[in-house]
Amino acid sequence: MRELDRTEALGLLATVSLGRIVFTQDALPAVRPVNHLLDGEDIVVRVLGGGALASLAAPTDAPGVVVAYEADQIDPETHLGWSVVVTGYARPVADPGDVDRYTAALRPWVGQPVTGTVRIRPDLVTGFQVEAVPSPPSSAPWG
Amino acid sequence: MRELDRTEALGLLATVSLGRIVFTQDALPAVRPVNHLLDGEDIVVRVLGGGALASLAAPTDAPGVVVAYEADQIDPETHLGWSVVVTGYARPVADPGDVDRYTAALRPWVGQPVTGTVRIRPDLVTGFQVEAVPSPPSSAPWG
């Protein structure tokens, strides 16, 4: 198991389109799967519907809300793969040009109106990659 | 997009072995990929290494720590699939018999010592399944 540096981690994040945004809702941990794209180092996601995520897309003068963002590609059998976790401020995307550009690039989900577009600026970036061959499961005949 | 009831959602969660545990660390949202199994309605995960998750596995007299647990199987191209989010109290598994049973059933990750085993009792269970055919992407030739 090898730790990834920031560049490697964000590079891997850019190779997939699905991740999970992690935030606090009514003082409880909350998590939702979303699609993302990377614009430079920024992670851009679209918020759909009027659920818990919608508050992240509401216009604000605050510096934003701290969220975590996770994506992974891990083989359930071999455990080989990688996981990346980013922590940073999430803010609504306000610039109409940016919104149009992101809207064109991020595919919509089925049957959900788009509430807004959110940009996460990575502050902490961590990740690991599992490259080695795993040890045999404890239920193996020689175990 | 169809909402799943509790039984459907936990049933789907039991069909996969990988999920993400979501918790609060130093007042910030945190998330880690882990393997799980279901024992009745309880979600059981093993905590590896000495990182942020280790505190969830430390013996405690408290009722536990509120966490969220997410798993999904979503096709990145078609967006078809499902996602389940469980919220509930996480507590270390103390009974040695339970620990042995879970240890035998949960495959270890590579090169990480096991710190403890954690049981999440589902309080809130939400989930959705996307079954419909998605609309064409905005980049389609007829778009």
ipTM value for the complex? 0.85
DSSP codes of every residue in B28-41:
EEEEEEEEEEEETT
E strands, A26-140, in order = 28-39, 42-48, 65-74, 81-92, 114-130
The H or E element containing residue B65 is strand B65-74
Mean pLDDT of A58-73: 90
Confidence of residue A133 (pLDDT cuts 50, 70, 90): low
CA atoms within 13 A on the CB side of B138: 11
Give the one of A23, A70, A134 whose C-beta lies nearest to B20's C-beta: A70
pLDDT the model gives residue A111: 62
Please answer whether residues A72 and B106 qualify as being in contact, where contact means their C-beta atoms are separated by less than 8 angstroms.
Answer: no
A99 at interface of B, judged by CB pairs closer than 8 A:
no
pLDDT the model gives residue A107: 75
pLDDT the model gives residue A50: 73
| Residue B84 one-letter amino acid | V
B132 at interface of A, judged by CB pairs closer than 8 A:
yes
Bridge pairing between strands A18-25 and A28-39 = antiparallel
Mean pLDDT (10-residue bins), chain B, 143 residues: 95 96 91 94 88 83 91 89 96 93 81 83 95 56 38
Query: Which CATH superfamily does the domain covering B2-130 fall into?
Result: Electron Transport, Fmn-binding Protein; Chain A (2.30.110.10)
How many CB pairs lie under 8 A apart between chains A and B?
119
Backbone angles phi, psi at A57, to 5 degrees: -95, -5
Confidence of residue A27 (pLDDT cuts 50, 70, 90): confident
Least confident residue range of A62-71, A105-114, B37-46, B71-80: A105-114
pLDDT the model gives residue B131: 84
Structure-block tokens of residue A111: 């049957």
B130 at interface of A, judged by CB pairs closer than 8 A:
yes
pLDDT the model gives residue A108: 65
A2 at interface of B, judged by CB pairs closer than 8 A:
no
Which chain A residues touch B18 with a CB distance below 8 Å?
A: 72, 74, 76
What are the extents of the domains in chain B? 2-130
Contact A76 B130 (CB under 8 A): no
* pLDDT, greater one: A122 or B48: A122
Average pLDDT, chain A: 87
